[in-house]
A = this chain, B = another copy of it.
Amino acid sequence: MKKVSLKDIAEELGVSKALVSLVLNGKGDERGINKNTQEKVRKKAVELNYRPNQYARGLRMGKTKTIGIIVPDISNVFYGTLCKAIEKKAYEIGYNLIISNSYEDNEKEIKLVGELMNRNIDGLILASSFEKDTDFEVLNFREFPVVLVDRKFDNLAIDSVSVTNEQGAKEITSYLLKEGVQKAACFAISPTHISSIEERVEGFNLANGNRPYQTVYDISHENIYADVKKVLKDIEGQGFDGIFCSNNSIAKALIKLGMKGEDFFEQYTVVSFDDIELFDLVAPRITTVAQPLDEIGANALKILLEKIENPGSKEVIKMVLPTRLITR
């Protein structure tokens, strides 16, 4: 019942381990190994159900064909879909993914990065929960291949794939105003200095440039529902008639609250960043800014693989993909 190794195949066939290894790795022809011998080796490998030990191989080669990915929360459909996109591509080229959740907890993120690096992953895709460039430096990646997704750090020389957050927020806010909203509020999720949120708020502000009044409110990501409720109460009677949500969690809280209020959705027009299925199924349906998750995932992986294959390269790619307004 024990695992079969190269040695087992070699002994049964009366050849060396080296030869077996060469053949099984497709280097038989290149090294001019007898076709006949090659055939025998391959047959025996199948017969014995040989599976190469990746840890031995990893130890020897220094590469493991495993990449790590850290997201705030895999059960959030946004990150779930992103991981799925990455996993799909990775699978096609023989890579596996180790997925971990940081829960927006910097301490845990630091630990996770360390542990994943321990496990000799070849590279890391990271949706970081860090807020400032300076904090980020504790992760100390040096030459280690890392690509940031979703959130980026402009002042650091680290590759990233993000979207046109500012432009997307500006577009959807403009849409809100064009639809007749007089006074819009922006509900920003904390921590607001995460790059993507900062840019969305900026987009909101830009679109409001020549309006008499608009305001940004902070919502704690740990306590979204209660905070949204509180802010709604605070702005009551101030003439607001539109709300831009900086991410899907806030919009979900608003929907839940809105269902309880009598005429909430007559009073407020709600739009949101992040296009999730839910927004198409509630009444009224929510107009959103969609992010190209498949492309984000595919590009992050592609950039990461290039880094892995060219370890010396100092080139830094900061890719920004377009968002799409989905009016409903």
Binding site for B on A (CB under 8 A): 1, 51-56, 58-59, 64, 66, 73-77, 80-81, 83-84, 87-88, 91, 96-101, 112, 114-120, 142-143, 252, 255-256, 259, 277-278, 280-283, 285
Contact = CB atoms under 8 A, between A and B. Distances in A.
B101 A98 contact: no
Contact of A51 (B73, B74, B118): B118
22 contacts: A53-B59, A53-B118, A54-B118, A55-B55, A55-B58, A55-B64, A59-B59, A66-B119, A74-B80, A75-B77, A75-B81, A84-B101, A87-B99, A87-B101, A96-B115, A96-B119, A97-B99, A97-B100, A99-B99, A259-B281, A259-B285, A278-B281
A91 B112 CA distance: 9
A66 B80 CA distance: 21
List 4 A-B pairs, minimum CB-CB distance, nearest first.
A75-B80, A80-B80, A55-B58, A75-B84
Contacts of A73: 84
Given A73-B84, A74-B74, A74-B84, 13 more contacts: A1-B143, A54-B118, A59-B59, A74-B83, A75-B80, A75-B84, A76-B80, A88-B101, A96-B119, A255-B281, A259-B283, A278-B278, A282-B283
Contact of A283 (B56, B115, B283): B283
A112 B142 CA distance: 33
Given A114-B51, A259-B283, A281-B256, A98 B97 contact: yes
B54 A119 contact: yes
Nearest to A311: B1
Contacts of A54: 118-120
B100 A55 contact: no
A252 B43 CA distance: 49
A277 B252 contact: yes
A328 to B, nearest CB: 11
A118 B95 CA distance: 12
B114 A87 contact: no
